Structure 1
Amino acid sequence: MSGERIDWRQLAPQRWKNGAGLTRELAVEPAGASMDDFDWRISVAEVEQDAPFSAFAGVDRCIALLDGAGMTLRSADGAAVRRLDRVGEPFRFAGEMPLVAELVDGPCEDFNVMVRRAAHEAHVTPLRQPGTLEAAPAGMLVCLSGRWKCDGSTLERGQALLWRRGMPRVSVQPQASPALALAVHLYRSPGATRDAAIPGCTRATNT
């Protein structure tokens, strides 16, 4: 199955759940789901000022810097949890964790994957070299820099391929340097049902 081509620069921005920033929704499952009842959601966020992250109980999150100097994530007591200043480096955390984004030097943009912990797992992997993406129930390839060829398509920065119903095993090839992409593999959690009780926080494998 061929992937659906997405250019997130053409998507209309929406306010964050808490109103403190902007987000562009690349994909959500089920289609048309709200912030309160999605199974998984992939988006790009614009952070223009220091702001708290929206809280998502029962959700695992993974973010990666796309553009700008980045931000420092701080806990409720002000302690630094993680500094995100390297483009394409994934960071995973529980969605209910109270975090505040403190900008390093001006606005930045980040990539965001959220999955309902009781039902799904997300693996987010940076790519810089030619390779093969393994099959998955759903997935996405996102071009962060350079150009990438995949599944008969050439992706420029700001473009992505989405496989909503079955991601095939596909080869990826950088076409221009420097090249950086993110591969997202989405899996059902073993024995999961959409209405399953939410267990303790588990994190996707850091690949």
Structure 2
Amino acid sequence: MSKLIQYASLHATPWKNGGGSTTEIAIAPNGATFDNFDWRISLATIAHSGPFSLFPGIDRTLTLVSGPCVVLDVGNERKVALSEREPVVAFPGELAVSATVGDAPTTDFNVMTRRARCSHQLERRVVRGFSTLERRSATTIVFLAEGESLAIISADERVAMVRYDAVVLSTEDVWTLEAASATVFIVDIIPNDEEDE
């Protein structure tokens, strides 16, 4: 069976530097910490400008969910304005990254994978009516970033979601996404041994 993670059941943790908070959505293996997770998915609210924590050996992807814009200075090499126009940025966790926010905070979807064990792919998809999702990896997570509701349907299951809910899909190969209008993030977690096949 697929695992529905209801946003209403989750809790935000303030950052140590006071610049925002993080709501953990899913982590593997179960009970893992920052020191030993294989992968981690969360929502981060950035309320004040400041540096990100360093995560050596971790690959990260940030995607804007709500808010006007946040400018990221990535390793003093490039600046990225994370906004509706350019909503996704990927970077190694060991790089020094600082965020500059404007008058309003932003909420960002954050995917982290430990490079020695796995990698990830993130797809932003707009669903109006129906959309087919074919599984591409052993672990697939669907997150409802925008829209009131979304149904995820397979031959054996129907899972109903509201905004900011997530689903870790079971091993069914083909799913149908159904919504009047929704933006979803589809995350595939790919173990390193799967990449070598």
Bucket of the pairwise TM-score, normalised by the shorter protein: 0.7 to 0.9
CA 1:185–1:76 in structure 2 vs 1: closer, same or farther (change >3 Å)? closer
2 CA distance for matches of 1:88 and 1:132?
A: 24
Q: Is the 8 A contact 1:145 1:157 kept in 2?
A: yes
> Which of 169, 172, 178 matches 2:176?
172
2 CA distance for matches of 1:87 and 1:33?
A: 35
Residue in 2 that maps onto 1:113: 111
Q: Secondary structure at the match of 1:91?
A: strand
How far the C-alpha of 1:70 sits from its partner, in A, is 2.2
Q: Secondary structure at the match of 2:193?
A: coil
Q: Is the 8 A contact 2:74 2:80 kept in 1?
A: no
Q: Is the 8 A contact 1:136 1:187 kept in 2?
A: yes
How far the C-alpha of 1:87 sits from its partner, in A, is 8.0
Aligned length: 187
CA 1:88–1:35 in structure 2 vs 1: closer, same or farther (change >3 Å)? farther
Q: Is the 8 A contact 2:52 2:96 kept in 1?
A: yes
1 CA distance for matches of 2:112 and 2:45?
A: 16
1 CA distance for matches of 2:186 and 2:49?
A: 28
> Which of 162, 165, 175 matches 1:159?
165
Residue in 2 that maps onto 1:182: 185
In the alignment, residue 168 of structure 2 is paired with which amino acid? L
In the alignment, residue 7 of structure 1 is paired with which amino acid? Q
Q: Is the 8 A contact 1:72 1:80 kept in 2?
A: no
Q: What are the Cα deviations for residues 142-168 of structure 1, in whole angstroms up to 9, with x where unaligned?
A: 0112232213012221111014xx543
Q: Is the 8 A contact 1:121 1:188 kept in 2?
A: yes
Residue in 1 that maps onto 2:138: 137
Q: Secondary structure at the match of 1:56?
A: coil
How far the C-alpha of 1:135 sits from its partner, in A, is 4.2
Residue in 2 that maps onto 1:82: 80
Residue in 2 that maps onto 1:70: 69
In the alignment, residue 2 of structure 2 is paired with which amino acid? G
In the alignment, residue 175 of structure 1 is paired with which amino acid? A
Q: What are the Cα deviations for residues 108-139 of structure 1, in whole angstroms up to 9, with x where unaligned?
A: 11100100001101010011141223242212
1 CA distance for matches of 2:193 and 2:74?
A: 31
TM-score by length of 2: 0.85
For structure 2, which runs of at least 5 residues remain unmatched after alignment?
Answer: none
CA 1:88–1:168 in structure 2 vs 1: closer, same or farther (change >3 Å)? farther
> Which structure has the highest strand share of the two?
2
TM-score by length of 1: 0.81
How far the C-alpha of 1:191 sits from its partner, in A, is 7.5
Identity of aligned residues (%): 29
